[in-house]
Structure 1
Amino acid sequence: MISTQAWADARRLWDHHLMHHTPRPCSVAVGLGSHDLGVADAAVELYRRGMTPLIVFTGATSRTTRDRMPRGEAVHYRERALELGVPDSAVLVEPRARNTGENLRFSRELLEEAGVDVSSVLLISKPYEERRAHATARKLWQGVEFVSASSPMAFEEYVDSIGDDRLVIDMLVGALQRLMIYPAQGFMVEDPVPDEVAAAYERLCRAGFTSRLV
């Protein structure tokens, strides 16, 4: 049974992870690979709204996706987009990346090789990865403006979609820890965590939501 305090703390982490950007037209959309096909759906919706002329899906497989996405995350994302009506010419696939840093580096290289002029990127991720992806992009892909996006879901709706309450909170806690420790390791720019968010994170750790900590 998850306590009322734990739910409140998890919701606070969720709100912090979201960048709350308003989507606007960008040179390209980059969909970061994961287990969540909602990333592909969000990219398709933004494409339909005229927010980007081109989508790059990036991602190989991981221990959490190899069974569900045996052909690779980016390939499955592309297949989803084509099923939803996006033309093949509007989708590029980067199939090698195994972490967020590689997602960004390899996508940048792919676009350079394709001769695509990039001044702005719609950076599409899982909702609770928006802030970390944005901080990583600012470190690795300088001189470009990033607009964060994800499936527009409320916290409770996202929890219901995953179907595992504890796992979602574990993922929120793990993502927050990375925000705190990765800048010192050179993986992303500094993005200070407010005291009230850090306090919520500490309470959740003490309550045992630690399976996604590094």
Structure 2
Amino acid sequence: MTSSTTRLPTEAEIAAINAQHLIETPLRPADLLFVFGTRKDVEVRVEEACRLWREGYFRWAIVSGGVTPGSELSECEIIAGAMVARGVPADIILREDRAMNTGENVIFSLPILEEALGLANIRSVICLGNTWTARRYPMTLHRHWPEVEKMLVTVDSFATPRALWHTDAEFSRRVLNEWDKIEPYKARGFIAEWPDGGLGVGQQAQR
């Protein structure tokens, strides 16, 4: 399916997506916050990153994302700059400004992390991204960096509750577009199965 997905999900599909894709993980302080770049809902992503910093959930952060059409600044520059403006220390934010997709976010960031911190010194990572992309962030990270513990935090600006994503046409389109990528991406080796046990939407994640 392409990003123009307009099909309606079946009841079974809604249940599977809520249980398997839109997962929430128990959250505890991590060594690293991995902020995946975006052009949508930038403000809510920045606010969540800053909340996590204020509440002591990470020691280091990496923001990854290149220049997208229509912008002179990279996603990295926009998001990292906004985080610093809201109080996250600039010297704890690592930057990757070439990636054009989720795979490149991870592939291009790993050498930066190795040089700055040493991958062996990072034991836990919180992935921060869009709700609809959901587990594909840590699945991508797991493909290239299986050793590290992964947690997931997702945000969006939809008024629709997450569990009712299928009742909002645009929310549904975005979720289905991402859900349809999972199996083909696994088959092509872009992502790896994760997690061993996660919490579906509607189940209570610990924060």
TM-score, length basis structure 2:
0.76
The 3-state SS of whatever aligns with 1:71 is: coil
Distance 1:90 1:11, change over 3 A: farther
2:146 to 131, 142, 145: 142
Task: Map 1:109-188; keep pairs closer than 5 Å.
Answer: 109-116=111-118, 117-151=121-155, 156=160, 165-188=168-191
Residues 79-124 of structure 1: CA distance to partner in whole angstroms, max 9, x if unpaired? Answer: 1101211121121211011111111122211111113421111111
Paired residues, number: 179
Give the aligned partner of residue 202 of structure 1.
none
Give structure 2 stretches of 5+ with no counterpart.
Answer: 1-7, 163-167, 196-207
Identity of aligned residues (%): 25
Query: Does residue 1:100 correspond to 2:106, yes or no?
Result: no
The 3-state SS of whatever aligns with 2:72 is: coil
Assess if the C-alpha contact under 8 Å between 1:57 and 1:91 holds in 2: yes
2:54 to 48, 56, 59: 48
Distance 1:6 1:96, change over 3 A: same
Provide the aligned C-alpha RMSD in A. Answer: 2.7
Query: Bigger relative contact order, structure 1 or 2, given CA contacts below 8 A and separation 6+?
Result: 2
Equivalent-residue separation in structure 2 for 1:172 and 1:73 (angstroms): 22
Q: Give the number of the structure whose residues are more often helix, by fraction.
A: 1
Following superposition, the deviation at residue 50 of structure 1 comes to 0.4
Equivalent-residue separation in structure 2 for 1:154 and 1:76 (angstroms): 22
Residues 119-139 of structure 1: CA distance to partner in whole angstroms, max 9, x if unpaired? Answer: 111111111212111211111
Equivalent-residue separation in structure 1 for 2:149 and 2:48 (angstroms): 19
Assess if the C-alpha contact under 8 Å between 2:130 and 2:155 holds in 1: yes
Task: Map 1:194-209; keep pairs closer than 5 Å.
Answer: none
Give the aligned partner of residue 81 of structure 1.
83
Code of the aligned partner of 1:168:
F
Residues 50-85 of structure 1: CA distance to partner in whole angstroms, max 9, x if unpaired? Answer: 0101111100133xxx33x43011110011101211
Following superposition, the deviation at residue 48 of structure 1 comes to 1.0
Code of the aligned partner of 2:49:
A
TM-score, length basis structure 1:
0.73
Assess if the C-alpha contact under 8 Å between 1:25 and 1:51 holds in 2: yes
Equivalent-residue separation in structure 1 for 2:60 and 2:110 (angstroms): 13
Following superposition, the deviation at residue 9 of structure 1 comes to 8.0
Query: Does residue 1:60 correspond to 2:52, yes or no?
Result: no
Runs of 4+ deviating beyond 4 Å? 5-12, 152-155
Equivalent-residue separation in structure 1 for 2:35 and 2:19 (angstroms): 21
Give the aligned partner of residue 206 of structure 1.
none
Query: Does residue 1:26 correspond to 2:30, yes or no?
Result: yes
Following superposition, the deviation at residue 15 of structure 1 comes to 5.9
The 3-state SS of whatever aligns with 1:85 is: coil
Equivalent-residue separation in structure 1 for 2:132 and 2:176 (angstroms): 10
